[in-house]
Amino acid sequence: MSVATTAAAGPAGPAGPTGRAVPRPPTQPASAPAVPVSDLAGLRGRVVDLLVVGGGPAGSAAALAALRHRPDATVVIADLAAFPRDKTCGDGIAPHGLDVLRELGVPDATAGYRPVDRMRLRTPGGAQVATPSTRATHVIPRMVFDARLAAAASARGAHIVRHRVREVTAATVDGAPAVVVDGGTLAARVLVGADGASSVVRRALGLQANPPEALAIAVRAYADAPRTDLPPEQYIEMTDEGWPAYAWSFPIGDGRANIGFGMLRSQLGVLTSAAAATSAGNAPSGGGSGGGDAGASGRAVLHGTLARMLPEQPAYPGTLRAHHLPMSTWRPRQPDGQILLAGDAASLVNPLTGEGIYYALLSGSLAGDAAMRAVLAGRPGGAGAAYRRALSGELGRHLRHTTLLAGLAGRHRALMDAAVRSASRRTELYDTLVEIGLGRGTIPAASLARLAARRLVAPRSGAAAMG
């Protein structure tokens, strides 16, 4: 099934810093399909097979996986937004996520967008690696990518409704256990919460949100892509300011780049407090604290750091937006029962890179699969345990290793410098780091042994890191 044809290109704007006219982020790119919306009223009073809360990559993958098992199943995706819609993100799509989509019958989600097979990584200590990757990534605005996936799910038979879910409860409907939303607005045999970092479904399960030390915040914008004769590359520059933290510039291929800066929420609090103290100390006598408060805001810190780190790529007006990334170092245990969590709602964000699209697609696919198998077996209450086992089998060891590495990187910044220097000389190490940061790679046994010999591996690491 084709879900796209051409790459997005916004209308030309005024001349940018490079002297050429620059495209502005379009409201609705030509390659972002309009997704049909079903009538919510037609679903009232019915118990659907699967209700997915959230229409991002995790939600669409869950619907596609469920409908792969039973094409005539009643699958509903509830999302407040109409597609296409913007979503704050780095827009990087790793090849591992595309593998999941191909298995779900969506082989052309990247149509019209050129692959980017180079990544340049620079550490605060000056170490740098710029090596072609074994498998290329793509940079696709989420306005386009999410709409394509939602359109694919709709074409497969999913009902997409516009609705903000506020309340989720377990109930009995017609003598059978069900999950009821908003007092009966919708009811389902199994529900998948794919509603992001501020998940309503997660709160309904009584699961706490990530604490500041396991919650990143990033600001994203669009800007001119660097003008160069060299092949396009994804650029990541780490910084000591708020370590672990980094800025990025990812070329889309149409003259624009997705740029941003991210750090842990706990570190942002430290920097904001320091900036406020400095501002207060420099304020004129009797001048009050208003100016200091404004200058020390978290937004000012994020925006200012991004501008300093990428001075040649000023953000397009109106495109700076912030978002939270709940790191997998604080992921909750999936409960038994008929309510499942996928993607950011399950704190599935890589703590080393902030990458979450692959985790979202994989976890969504596993959740949809477990949900529909449980429904078809007549035991929807078994979906939670089945999904928990499947997710552990696919990602368990990888997640343990990323938690370990994130803790080490947070405590020993020099390790990151050493790793990047070594990766610049050893292609196999570079490939391993990419797999750990973007896929489900693990630490080689010999490396684990060396870390243990140096007494760097603590019995338990709960720290998180982005870079």
Distance CA 341, CA 333 (A): 10
Query: Where among 377, 395, 413 does a domain terminate?
Result: 395
Would you say residue 223 lies in a domain? yes
Which of 379, 395, 411 is where one domain is finished? 395
Q: What secondary structure does DSSP assign to 175-225, as a single string?
A: TEEEEEEGGGTEEEEEEEE---TT-HHHHHTTPPPPPGGGEEEEEEEEEEP
pLDDT beyond 50 at 466: no
Are 158 and 302 members of one domain?
A: no
Same domain, 204 and 289: no
Could you give the number of structural domains in the chain? 3
Task: Give the range of the structural domain holding residue 408, as residue numbers without chain letter.
Answer: 399-453
pLDDT of residue 152 exceeding 50, the answer is yes
If asked whether residues 199 and 345 sit together in one domain, one would say yes
pLDDT at 356 > cutoff 60: yes
pLDDT at 14 over 80: no
Mean pLDDT over 218-242 rounds to: 94
Q: Would residue 17 count as lying in a domain?
A: no
Q: Are residues 311 and 340 in the same domain?
A: no
Q: Residue 238 pLDDT > 50, yes or no?
A: yes
Looking at 273, 302, 323, which one is the last position of a domain? 323
Please state the rounded mean pLDDT for residues 60-85. Answer: 97
Rounded to an integer, what distance in angstroms lies between the CA atom of residue 393 and that of residue 385? 12
- Are residues 367 and 295 part of one domain? no
pTM higher than 0.85 for the full model? yes
Does the pLDDT of residue 371 top 50, yes or no? yes
* 331 and 319 assigned to the same domain: no
- Residue 81 in any domain: the answer is yes
Contact 127, 424 (CB under 8 A): yes
Q: What is the CATH number of the domain that holds 166?
A: 3.50.50.60
In this prediction, residue 453 has a pLDDT band, given cuts at 50, 70 and 90, of low
Claim to verify: residue 260 and residue 311 sit in the same structural domain:
yes
Does any domain span residue 25? no
First to last CA, the chain: 37
The pLDDT of residue 455 is 54
| Residue 288 within a domain | yes
Task: In whole angstroms, give the CA distance from residue 83 to residue 160.
Answer: 10
284-322 pLDDT, tens digit each: 554 444 444 443 589 999 999 999 999 999 999 999 999
Residues 331 and 409 in one domain: no
